[in-house]
Chain A
Amino acid sequence: MRKYLFIIKTQIMSNLQYVFNIVFSFIGYFILLFILFNLWQYLYSDPNELINGYNMTQMSWYVIITEILWMTLGGRKLCHKISQDVRSGNITYNINKPYSYIGYCLSTHLGDVFVKGLIYIFLGMLTGLLFLGSFPKLTLINILVVLITAILATTISILLIISIGLISFFIEDSGPFYWIYSKIILVLGTIFPIEYFPTIIQKILNFSPVYVVSYGPAKLFVDFSWDKAVSIILAQIIYIIIAYGICYLIYKKGVKKINVNGG
């Protein structure tokens, strides 16, 4: 475990060199928020009106949180890196090291997300306060629980993306699989809460990754309840085990197919 913590620390130190780039990349996040704020303002004729149980402020905060989770993740980059490692044979340099490749990818990327996450949380909250003028009613412990669910959500997302990247062992380019995964998370969990969908779809979504990687932390932030918090954290722990299991199986099966030409 200590070696993985060391990798995370190294990545954090390395990312601290690029704070300006991260702040600059926030513009992309801001644009998206701006568009979605306009959309919700258009849809809500009265800001206090409830649409599927959410008023306009809640919907805006929901999107702020889900977009922070999504945009700090850098999933495309991670998937591409793993895919390239497999395709180019670089993965062989990691196989003979005293760590697991999955653990290495997870800790490296967690380190990458950490600095970006902190900056996006700060700037995202500031943007929300400027546009909406109010902050959801949360105690310090509530905020801590939301942060824990956000960290777990990021861990699950990274593991799921690693498993998608590892598909490159079997199909050369895993990118298209990532596109579909990202669109599912974006449409079914980032732009709208689960309550926006028909009851049958809601039941399916409650068991899907959308619930644990996107909806969970954002729902707790806009409408905190301990019952919900416990059920979300439990679901996240189960999902971490499942996602790691999937990664492990794909890796174990795929690594046997490696054929190194030397060089």
Chain B
Amino acid sequence: MLTEVKNQWKVTRLSIQYALVRELLNKATFLSNIFFMILNDSCMIVQWIVLFSIKNNMGGYTFKQVLLLWGMAAGTYGVSRFFFKKSFNLSETINSGKLDAYIVQPKNILLSTITSDIEIAALGDILFALIVYFIYGFNMRTFLLYLFFCITGGVMITAIAIILNSLSFWFNNADMIADVGIRLIESFATYPDGIFKGITKWLLFTIIPIGITNYIPIKVLIEFNPYLLIINICVCLLLMILAYTIFSKGLKKYSSSNLMSARI
């Protein structure tokens, strides 16, 4: 069992490593992608400077805390898109029959599929998340927590992407549902929960779990709360199991399109 996990880990690591080497072939594009993504993320700070000039408190968040929320959103997005890029276009892989190339490998199909490509620009998001954290104020304990939440958030977003995209095993237009679902999460991620009321707020902590991926981590970072930390971990595990189960169930319905393809 342990050897199997070790082998799978090695394959995943190598897959990401090769994808990175491939991208590094064009260094100018590689660096410009990262640099411009940091610049792109930074542009939105202007929005909050303007909003804080109108009101000095945004739903219970100070300017620095909103910055931290932005950093968390960028960090979770970065982790999910850099390490698990393929989970966001899993629908296309399923619909076009490209899953065949992964099925024949003696390794975990889901993990092999979602880690087979990386998004370089997402490295810019991860770096932006780190820069924002250092602006917020460094403290070893919160720094480790921040990194941890970026990872759990990224994994949760990936799991949701897998769940929604796996619907393609049953429905034709599931990619549209997945796109809307992911957009829903990304749109809410950068706005403080305090500006939402009633049912919207409830939805943000349940069906659209952005409350778990982003808002709870910020609350824990501001004031440590072990219960909220446990909720974050439990939901993360639950989503991972759910994603794996739905993908595995869907895989049984998958039929090959006899598409000849090679992974280079």
- Chain A interface (Cβ within 8 Å of chain B)? 21, 24-25, 27-28, 31-32, 34-35, 38-39, 41-43, 51, 171-173, 175-177, 179-180, 183-184, 186-188, 191-192, 196-197
**Binary CB contact string for chain B from 50 to 70 against chain A (1 if under 8 A, 0 otherwise):** 110011001100000000000
Nearest B residue (CB) for A176 = B36
- Asked if B40 is at the interface of the complex by the 8 Å CB criterion, the answer is yes
Decide if B148 is an interface residue (CB 8 Å cutoff): no
Which listed residue (B26, B58, B121, B200) contacts A172, Cβ 8 A?
B26
- Shortest CB-to-CB span from B94 to chain A, Å, is 19
Check B29–A173 contact: CB distance below 8 A.
yes
| Contact between chains at A172 and B28 (CB < 8 Å) | yes
Distance between B135 CB and nearest chain A CB, rounded to angstroms = 19
Q: Does A172 lie within 8 Å of B29, measured CB to CB? A: yes
Q: Are B32 and A31 neighbours in the complex by a CB distance under 8 Å?
A: no
Q: Count A-B contacts at CB 8 Å.
A: 79
CB neighbours of B176 from chain A (8 A)? 21, 24-25
Q: In whole angstroms, what is the CA distance A166 to B55 when docked?
A: 42
B195 beta carbon closer than 8 Å to chain A: yes
Give the docked Cα–Cα distance between A39 and B40 (Å): 22
A27 and B180 form a contact (CB under 8 A): yes
Known interface pairs A35-B191, A176-B33, A179-B36; A197-B184 also in contact (CB < 8 Å): no
Q: B47 near A: Cβ within 8 Å?
A: yes
- 14 sample A-B contacts, Cβ–Cβ < 8 Å, listed by A number: A24-B173, A31-B183, A38-B195, A39-B51, A41-B195, A172-B26, A173-B33, A179-B36, A179-B40, A180-B36, A183-B40, A183-B44, A196-B50, A197-B50
Interface residues on B, range: 35 or more
Q: When chains A and B are docked, how far (Å) is the Cα of A146 from the Cα of B173?
A: 36
- With both chains docked as a complex, state the minimum distance between the C-beta of A127 and any C-beta of chain B, in angstroms: 15
Smallest CB gap from B30: residue in A: A173
Q: Give chain B residues whose Cβ lies under 8 Å from the Cβ of A196.
A: 50
Contacts of A183 in B (CB 8 A): 40, 43-44
CB <8 Å contact, B195 and A177: no
Residues from chain B with a CB closer than 8 A to the CB of A25 are 176
Name B213-250 residues within 8 Å CB distance of A.
Answer: none
B57–chain A nearest beta-carbon distance, Å: 10
- Chain A: minimal CB distance from B184 (Å): 6
For the complex of A and B, the 6 pairs showing the least CB-CB separation, nearest first, are A176-B36, A183-B43, A179-B40, A42-B195, A173-B29, A28-B183
- Within B185-232, which residues are at the interface with A (CB < 8 Å)? 187-188, 191, 194-197, 200
Query: What residues on A are CB-neighbors of B29 within 8 Å?
Result: 171-173
Cα distance A31–B191 in the bound complex, in angstroms: 13
Instruction: Please measure, in the bound complex, the distance between the C-alpha atom of A21 and the C-alpha atom of B47, giving whole angstroms.
Output: 31
Closest to A44 in B: B54
Cα-based distance from A9 to B13 in the complex (angstroms): 50
Asked if B104 is at the interface (CB within 8 A of a chain A CB), the reply is: no
Tell me whether A187 and B196 are in contact (CB under 8 A): no
